[in-house]
Amino acid sequence: MQIATTIEEVRTLVKSWKKEGCTVGLVPTMGYLHEGHGSLISRAREENDKVVVSIFVNPMQFGPGEDLDSYPRDLEKDSAYCESLGADLIFHPEPSEMYTEGFCSYVDMSVLTEELCGLSRPVHFRGVCTVVNKLFNIVAPDRAYFGQKDAQQLAVIRRMVEDLNMDIQIVGCPIVREEDGLAKSSRNTYLSAEERQAALVLSCAVTCGQELVAAGETDAKKIVAQMKALIEQEPMARIDYVKAVDGLTMQQIDTVKKPMLVALAVYIGKTRLIDNFIV
């Protein structure tokens, strides 16, 4: 496995692979990898001749006062993990390599980004769309892999690829959970032992919502209300949002319909965690 820090190195290597007729899978990440990322890398390994993992904490997708500086980083551990899963290349650029002086071109999206996380993180999706676009241009993958845990991000990227006619297959992969149900996230490391326990309220709310749908509840507002009531019982939890939306457009819906995304963002202490389920 190789580690590249420049765009030039990546382009040269990918060009040589493509000359040999190899397919390329890209797993974009911000590092501090866990089994959720691992499932994306393994899937990419199964479906492509070559696998590239990008590790880049993208400053553009963090708003003022967010956790850009404290976002956990451990390249050595990440490299060993990627190698163990059979990745061929890690792309780990410096911010100055990705955003050269005078940088002023952005990929922006309306509608899908105006709900859920887009409301509380107004610059987030512009940063995500811009960096993912750049990564697609640099790596030129046949397939790119994203987790369902960031369900709105996945929907936004699918929309961007369709709207901008990008010839890349977007593969969404299921949420990977800890044994007790907490969705795996690099941000789980911020939680104290007590907060870690309180954070289980997110997956409990997801289970509650899923059970209501399975029992035949069709009123999306009732589902959301019961999930909120459950979360409010946890004193360490503060709800950012719990919403039922159309799974493609991210617009709020009142009646259960397929595809529906029920998504939640909840602060446990200072840490903002997300979870969701799809119907």
Question: Which residues are identified as catalytic?
Answer: 37
Q: Give the number of residues in contact with ligand PAF, rule: CB under 6 A.
A: 10
Per CB under 6 A, 10 contacts ligand PAF: no
- Residues 6+ away with beta carbon under 8 Å from 102: none
Q: At what angle do helices 75-84 and 35-47 cross, to 10 degrees?
A: 40
3-class state of residue 190 by DSSP: helix
What are the structure tokens assigned to 17, written together?
Answer: 């692979």
On whether the CB atoms of residues 236 and 202 are closer than 8 A, the answer is no
For residue 128, state whether it binds ligand PAF (rule: CB under 6 A). yes
Member of 78, 150, 195, 234 binding ligand PAF (CB under 6 A): 150
Binding-site member from 48, 61, 185, 271 for ligand PAF (CB under 6 A):
61
Identify whether the C-beta of residue 151 lies closer than 8 Å to the C-beta of residue 177: no
Contact between residue 263 and residue 243 where contact means Cβ atoms under 8 Å apart:
yes
Smaller CB separation from ligand PAF, 144 or 230: 144
142 vs 150, beta carbon nearer ligand PAF = 150
Per-residue x/- mask for ligand PAF, residues 22 to 51, rule CB under 6 A? ------xxx---------------------
From CA 223, how far away is CA 16, in angstroms rounded?
52
Cβ nearer to ligand PAF, comparing 48 with 186: 186
Maximal C-alpha separation, the chain: 58
Site for ligand PAF in 203-232 (CB under 6 A): none
Least distance to ligand PAF, CB of residue 31, Å: 8
* Residue 151 bridge partners (DSSP): none
Query: Which residues contact ligand PAF by CB under 6 A?
Result: 28-30, 58, 61, 128, 131-132, 150, 153
